[in-house]
Structure 1
């Protein structure tokens, strides 16, 4: 429990200190140190869970199994990389007079509170508290989406708040219906909404109520996860937020919303004897299908990456829906691989936007000439996110495809491959166009701030290495998470 306590306290303390300390250089180093401390706390917690046993405490309000530990691990890792990247990014914005020094303190305040709210979601046992945690992520991250206070960013934040709130309301109804499905078993027991309680009694829950509950939760938390057709907030929010925030939104917030869906799915799928999976397959494929036309006719680099996130959330949902040991393994692996590759892409895109002073694709060309390091990394990350071998995303996509054929989901798997190919074609056209070609004459051959460039190499390592080799300990961790998603109890 000490690791859990530290995990929740560190971001809050870091946020407040960064807000109160007026010396910017001290504050920015302090926030990196706080994020690094959180990495140690998160990885220590994950180690205890994966190699010993789930962690429980606070009168069973806290419960961290392999699924929770996996999400914690992703949050602290992406959070640290984003905090490191933010130093150079925010310095550049101050130098360009996009923001002032005082506003940077508010950025770090909201950024670390945002990380803290996602960690709360990952460690609570009670589904009601999980709902509260996801609602808090909406409120805090909306402030970051509206950070620049421009008309477009305020509009994006407003749309995000409205759609997020409507989605969260649906999810709350779903959780109430899930409670009703076991009301005759638990009565007014204070633990009747604990995931551990519901999961143990899943086979005894009322199947009609559990199905209704799952549909509401899928639509509700699926809105936050960016599943189509509830995804409309996502391209605007990702496009308008500061690039490190876009990386966190895409890399871990979407996973955290899916985490809420999967917590309920493990209960409902057992209660319905596996029949809930068809809904995940449908929403997964539909999310991929919706992405295709928007990728093919895109003009904004960050919106293109945002629509790519809709695709990949669909792939994860599809993998869990296909199920079986191989399908779940591929889905969990894809959660990790997408987080690393997509956050890397948003970081690289942030460097490019600051260099070219534009997000418009037609105004960006010759990246490899003007920014050799960032351009090379951007090209690698783009190939990775498109599922090109030998990078990490290809491994998880191939695993899900293999599971689809193995489980007899022939039509769904063929559609999956078709959508991946179409999206690959669209993204490849724009990526090649931006990476090569003539660079604008007014731009000198120089990288942006060294902090922003150095941060790129951490996720790059995961993108390259995990495409070629999966370490045994990492393989074991993914297996344990997949086991929890099957309804197993560690």
Structure 2
């Protein structure tokens, strides 16, 4: 089952590259996306209570894997249906590379989710960079090539630093007289005997390396360009899928530090990165003139929220696991609806885009509701997860952190609201953009479904979902 989960999108990508028809090729996306989602549900169900080993315990499904697989698969499945409608408008551009890379991107993210070996995890995360770079360049203009190179260079530097971190972890085992292995279970068993200075050095490099991929501030500088220039569905997969995979890699490093008895130091680093990310986001969302770059800074904000939740521990960790899902699906709503608005107005500048509710009413309404959801407004699910994290902060006595958390969220709400309201309401400029563009079920159905899921999770959290989040959070509980 796990092999099928990894091979389905990989083989789909190869088939897409070989298929000659630009009209038929996009149909592979929903076929593979839906198949991947069905397989994911089977893997989650069969994996309850025990890991599923494959390839000598290098590939194992644990609670983190189940959560990330579900997030990635749900988001990709939705984006795959959206892509069919989107690519119809760009049929003259060709889509061989685009469709192939989308499917290979899904395969790489799936491999990262189930990797139980630090080396394999590193390879999978690097593969996501290689597969997603051509997607950012799809618009083929000066800004998109600049964004692609910035993404490639910064993420490659980050992943190189992560490689150094892995080497330091291995040397920490050697210096401590423990078994040298990169298999995750072996590391957890022997981490207590690792050399503390070398292990801490490894953690710092892993935090910076994978933190660059996740987009923590000040390591986030690739995000505004990449999210701003990529098509909306690519931005959704980057902000909801790729960052979730990178955050999973960071959670693995935190598990290692906990096993070594040095989790307090690691959590302090997570807390610092989280607060810095919130602060950066609060500064740059104010008077942001580009509504797609605005969503990039929102992604920086929510990576910070996740880091803070994990750093605080206890009930806040459960809130962070829930927020990982909420953030990914809500980003899907925002990026897909923003992509529709961008296509209608042929601009991302707030001064040139106004009155969207008049010209693309469904997309504009979804964009507005997505803004309310991502900023933690009830009754949407991000309100529940952010409130849970906040409850954990104050119940743990972290009053200064709680005050800063609330202050930054308030500033971000006001800053984002100013831009979003300017885009949605007002009087449209005459004859601006593509006047022939019309909303379709394909391009509005996916963000609507994702929004309904977020609303449902905010009103009622089903027991299987609650158990999934609780099991993932339990992996980060420090044992006495």
TM-score tier by shorter-chain length is: over 0.9
Q: 1: distance between equivalents of 2:5 and 2:455?
A: 29
Helix, strand or coil for the counterpart of 2:131? helix
Unaligned runs of 5+ in 2: none
1:126 to 2:117 alignment: yes
Q: 2: distance between equivalents of 1:297 and 1:437?
A: 17
Q: 1: distance between equivalents of 2:135 and 2:478?
A: 36
Name the counterpart of 1:362.
351
RMSD: 1.6
1:169 to 2:169 alignment: no
Q: 1: distance between equivalents of 2:15 and 2:206?
A: 36
Q: 1: distance between equivalents of 2:476 and 2:51?
A: 15
Q: 2: distance between equivalents of 1:70 and 1:469?
A: 18
**Structure 1 residue 24: deviation in Å?**
3.0
Q: 2: distance between equivalents of 1:323 and 1:160?
A: 32
Helix, strand or coil for the counterpart of 1:275? helix
**Structure 1 residue 52: deviation in Å?**
3.2
Q: Which piece of structure 1 moves more, 422-431 or 23-32?
A: 23-32
Name the counterpart of 1:179.
170
Name the counterpart of 1:79.
76
Q: 2: distance between equivalents of 1:447 and 1:468?
A: 32
1:239 to 2:237 alignment: no
Name the counterpart of 2:34.
36
Show the 5 A alignment for 1:251-400.
Answer: 251-271=240-260, 272-324=262-314, 326-400=315-389
1:111 to 2:102 alignment: yes
Q: 2: distance between equivalents of 1:44 and 1:365?
A: 45
Q: 2: distance between equivalents of 1:432 and 1:263?
A: 39
Helix, strand or coil for the counterpart of 1:62? coil
Name the counterpart of 2:397.
408
**Structure 1 residue 67: deviation in Å?**
0.4
**Structure 1 residue 437: deviation in Å?**
1.4
Q: 1: distance between equivalents of 2:26 and 2:231?
A: 16
Show the 5 A alignment for 1:22-61.
Answer: 22-49=20-47, 51-61=48-58
Residue of structure 1 aligned with 2:67, choices 66, 70, 84 = 70
**Structure 1 residue 478: deviation in Å?**
0.4
Q: 1: distance between equivalents of 2:285 and 2:153?
A: 25
Do the aligned partners of residues 409 and 270 (structure 1) sit closer, same or farther apart at CA in structure 2, a change above 3 Å counting? Answer: farther
TM superposition score normalised by structure 2: 0.96
Residues 235-291 of structure 1: CA distance to partner in whole angstroms, max 9, x if unpaired? Answer: 101111111111000011011111111101111133215331000000000001011
**Structure 1 residue 397: deviation in Å?**
0.7
**Structure 1 residue 487: deviation in Å?**
5.5
Residues 26-48 of structure 1: CA distance to partner in whole angstroms, max 9, x if unpaired? Answer: 22222211111011111211222
**Aligned residues, how many?**
475
Name the counterpart of 1:228.
217
Q: 1: distance between equivalents of 2:360 and 2:106?
A: 30
Q: 2: distance between equivalents of 1:187 and 1:485?
A: 23
Helix, strand or coil for the counterpart of 1:8? helix
